[in-house]
Structure 1
């Protein structure tokens, strides 16, 4: 049976951070399932650095979510990808999210987190998942990483056990290479 990988996201997900993993997972021969708070067509965004101290945002592609968070049965998945963008700041409020994400840490299944994905991890009520671990994220999310009890690093991608983290969309090739190594080793 082909492995299934869950991608948790929502509107305003960074386009590259959802499409690259989605396509790479399928290229590997696995099933990629996109879940969002509601089953709907998601609106992605494109972030870039154009001379400001922060990124700019433009509309991106549309992407259908296959299932809603309420429909996710995490036991049916071999790994989890959490893309960044602005989606993490609001999907972390969904009541189903802690149940889903906790499963992957409880079962030591691979988790890939890029950019602002750490905001999703802050929704977990078990900080001991991260206490003393090392991870990276978008530099402005350093405090969120440290508030989890983790050690922030600028090394990207960074692998600590089942958690593969990256800072920005240019880190996706390395992040997906390391994430898929973990999935393939299962």
Structure 2
């Protein structure tokens, strides 16, 4: 039976951070399922870095169909979890079903990949003790979110701590997916 990877996201996900993992998971022969607050066609965005800007720019990107709503996700059916960044994490974290999904993967030691702004979704958890004593990275603007979880912020653009793979931004996707898929074996 093929392994299944759940990708939790929503509108304004960074296009590369959702499509690259989605296709790499499929390429590996696993099933990839995109979950969102509601089952609908999502709007992704392109974040890019421009000389002279202190932050990234944002433009509309591709449409992305969500396969399933968070409320309908049975986390035990999945072997791994990927959380793309972009602006989606800042609003999907308020979905009442997300803590149930996140907790299952963290409590059961399943691979979790969180890239860029994805660290923001962990604020949805009432119990953040999983992150105490851990090290993780995220986009620099999310350093405070990582530290509020009780984790140490790694300045490296890619970090693996047990079954938790974290990345800084879309340029880190090759290493991020290599490490995540290694944990899926």
**CA displacement at 1:127 relative to structure 2:** 1.2
The residue aligned with 1:20 is 20
The residue aligned with 1:150 is 151
SS class of match (2:141): helix
Instruction: Tell me how far apart the structure 1 counterparts of residues 179 and 50 of structure 2 sit (CA, whole Å).
Output: 30
Residues 5-26 of structure 1 deviation map (CA, whole Å, 9 limit, x = unaligned): 0000000000000000000000
Q: List alignment gaps of at least 5 residues for structure 1.
A: none
Following superposition of structure 1 onto structure 2, how do residues 5-154 of structure 1 map, counting pairs within 5 Å? 5-51=5-51, 52-154=53-155
Instruction: Tell me how far apart the structure 2 counterparts of residues 57 and 28 of structure 1 sit (CA, whole Å).
Output: 30
**CA displacement at 1:96 relative to structure 2:** 0.1
SS class of match (1:122): helix
The alignment yields a C-alpha RMSD, in angstroms, of 0.5
**CA displacement at 1:133 relative to structure 2:** 0.2
Instruction: Tell me how far apart the structure 2 counterparts of residues 48 and 156 of structure 1 sit (CA, whole Å).
Output: 16
Instruction: Tell me how far apart the structure 2 counterparts of residues 154 and 20 of structure 1 sit (CA, whole Å).
Output: 23
Paired residue total: 184
Q: List alignment gaps of at least 5 residues for structure 2.
A: none
Q: Which runs of 4+ in 1 moved over 2 A?
A: none
SS class of match (2:129): helix
Instruction: Tell me how far apart the structure 1 counterparts of residues 133 and 94 of structure 2 sit (CA, whole Å).
Output: 25
Provide TM-score, normalisation by structure 2.
Answer: 0.98
Residues 36-87 of structure 1 deviation map (CA, whole Å, 9 limit, x = unaligned): 0000000000000123111110000000000000010000000000000000
SS class of match (2:124): coil
**CA displacement at 1:157 relative to structure 2:** 1.4
